[in-house]
């Protein structure tokens, strides 16, 4: 029985399935952990040193809500160079999750519909529901490509927002130019907000990221340092878009997160100038290793051009049943129903050492014999 003080809306939320696997990993001895969605390389030394220096020089109080000028202005200059939109402004947020929370609170009314693509990042339906909205899923199986006709069919008078994630978690698929251009055009035609979650933009292995901002200058973009510089625990992100939207998100941040962690914003200035090219090259090699290994083991897996995930189809049973068997063999992966209305696939991360990936492939090979 739920506690009588709890609001009714909390009944629709359970602990994240990913978090449950994390908790399980903590109890296992020497698990083969391919479940974690965070880089396994260390934070670059220059970035760590900048954070330490900021703390030592007493930059530990609140910052201004919109982010320290040094970081915000560096971001704005980079955004202006890339996007070239006169009305595009940036807000520094408490992680990309904070940016998504603010966006949902600012734009989604109770009863509004938000189009998400299935499979989806686990947080999206929950955030839509917290704002009182309804998540409308557009199926992308089996190859996880966006079909503009399906999107058009899902649009109703209640549609407020389309939520895009490319490169995608959990599939690793990078949307192509035709898909993105069509999506941007649909949003503009129907006067629907388009939010592009580009947190994995640095991890595009075969071609540069295509952003819908190229065809729709009203697109709201969420980005951050968590994945690119291995600082998932720092909670540093940003959101940029039309000035009127960003102004309102800034006001909401005053009453929620207040500001992003102050000393770490100073370190972020250094991070923006720190190359991660070698790390991206290593992840490309790991992507090639795991995709070829899965193919050799007889798994059906869609091309994964970015992020650090693949989303293979299970060879037997449901995703949940298959993952249970994997865990019995010390392999930690995530069942597909955590990210989808279907339970036919599983997510495996290659943000792990070559040795760990090879151990995981060995178990997956045995499970498909």
Residues whose CB is less than 8 angstroms from the CB of residue 203 and which lie 6 or more positions away in sequence, other chains included: 167, 227, 228, 280, 283, 306, 307, 308
With a cut of 90, say whether residue 195 has pLDDT above it: yes
Give the pLDDT score at 28: 72
In a domain, 72, yes or no: yes
Strand, helix or coil for residue 113 = strand
Rounded Cα distance, 103 and 128, in Å:
10
Do 172 and 228 share a structural domain?
A: yes
Q: What are phi and psi of 40, to 5 degrees?
A: -100, 5
What pLDDT does 29 receive? 76
CA 255 to chain centre: 24
What are the distances in angstroms from CA 315 to CA 270, 283, 321, 335? 46, 26, 11, 13
232 and 101 belong to one structural domain: yes
The partner residues of 309 in beta bridges, in order of sequence, read: 349
Q: Which helix (DSSP H) or strand (DSSP E) does residue 100 occupy?
A: helix 95-107
Q: From residue 51, how far is each of 38, 228, 262 by CA, in Å?
A: 20, 16, 10
Is residue 76 located within the same domain as residue 204? yes
Say if 352 falls within a structural domain: yes
CA distance 341 to 355: 33
Domain that holds residue 20: 8-43+276-367
The CA distance from 63 to 357, in Å, is: 41
Answer yes or no: do 97 and 23 share one domain.
Answer: no
Pair (51, 183) in one structural domain: yes
Q: Give the C-alpha separation, 287 to 305, whole Å.
A: 8
Query: Is 78 inside any structural domain?
Result: yes
> What does the radius of gyration of the chain's CA atoms come to, in whole angstroms?
20
The model's pLDDT over 20-68, given as tens digits with 9 standing for 90+, comes to: 666 666 677 788 999 988 899 999 999 999 999 999 999 999 999 999 9
81 located within any domain: yes
Q: Under a CB-based contact definition with an 8 Å cutoff, are residues 214 and 85 in contact?
A: no
> Is the domain of 92 the same as that of 183?
yes
How many domains is the chain partitioned into structurally?
2
Looking at the structure, tell me whether residues 327 and 348 fall in a common domain: yes
Whether 88 is covered by a domain: the verdict is yes
Q: How far apart are CA 209 and CA 280, in angstroms?
A: 14
Neighbours of 300 (CB within 10 A): 12
Which residues does 180 contact at the CB level (< 8 Å), separation at least 6?
A: 146, 164, 166, 210, 211, 212, 214, 215
Domain match, 232 and 340 both = no
| Residue 1 resides in a domain | no
For residue 16, pLDDT beyond 60: no
Per residue in 117-153, is it b (16+ CB within 10 Å) or e — as a string? bbbbbbbbbebbbbbebbbbbbebbeebebeeeebee
Within a domain: residue 243?
Answer: yes
Last residue of a domain, one of 272, 287, 314: 272
Question: In this predicted model, what pLDDT tens digit does every residue of 83-110 receive, in sequence order?
Answer: 989 999 999 999 999 999 999 999 999 9
> Which residue, 242, 272, 302, sits at the end of a domain?
272
Residues 205 and 115 in one domain: yes
Q: What is the tens place of the pLDDT at every residue in 139-158?
A: 999 999 999 999 999 999 99
Q: Which of 237, 272, 307 is the last residue of a domain?
A: 272
């Amino acid at each position: 029985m739920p506690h009588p003080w709890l609001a009714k809306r909390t009944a629709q939320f359970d602990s994240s399935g990913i978090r449950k696997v994390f908790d399980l990993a903590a109890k296992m001895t020497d698990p083969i952990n391919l479940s974690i969605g965070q880089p396994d390389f260390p934070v670059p030394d220059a970035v760590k040193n900048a954070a330490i220096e900021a703390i030592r020089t007493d930059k530990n109080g609140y910052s201004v809500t919109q982010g320290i000028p040094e970081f915000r202005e560096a971001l704005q200059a980079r955004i202006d160079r890339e996007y070239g939109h006169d009305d595009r402004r940036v807000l520094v947020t408490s992680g990309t999750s904070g940016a998504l929370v603010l966006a949902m609170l600012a734009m989604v009314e109770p009863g509004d519909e938000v189009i998400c693509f299935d499979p989806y990042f686990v947080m999206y339906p929950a955030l839509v529901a917290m704002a009182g909205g309804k998540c409308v899923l557009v199926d992308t199986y089996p190859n996880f490509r966006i079909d503009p006709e399906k999107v058009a069919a899902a649009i109703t008078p209640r549609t407020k927002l389309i939520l895009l994630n490319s490169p995608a978690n959990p599939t690793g698929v990078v949307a192509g130019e035709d898909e993105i251009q069509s999506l941007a055009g649909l949003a503009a035609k129907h006067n629907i907000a388009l939010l592009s979650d580009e947190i994995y933009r640095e991890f595009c292995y075969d071609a540069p990221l295509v952003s819908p901002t190229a065809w729709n200058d009203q697109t709201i973009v969420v980005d951050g340092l968590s994945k690119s510089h291995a600082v998932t625990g720092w909670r540093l992100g940003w959101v940029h878009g039309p000035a009127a939207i960003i102004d309102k998100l800034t006001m909401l941040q005053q009453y929620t997160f207040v500001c992003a962690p102050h000393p770490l914003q100073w370190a972020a200035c250094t991070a923006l100038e720190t190359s991660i090219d070698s790390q991206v090259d290593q992840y490309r090699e790991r992507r090639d290793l795991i995709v070829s290994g899965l193919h050799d083991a007889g798994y059906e897996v869609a091309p994964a051009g970015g992020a650090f995930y693949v989303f293979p189809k299970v060879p037997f049973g449901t995703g949940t049943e298959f993952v249970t068997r994997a865990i019995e063999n010390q392999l930690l992966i995530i069942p597909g129903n955590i990210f989808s209305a279907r339970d036919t696939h599983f997510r495996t991360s290659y943000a792990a050492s070559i040795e760990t990936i090879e151990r995981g492939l060995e178990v997956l090979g045995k499970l498909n014999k």
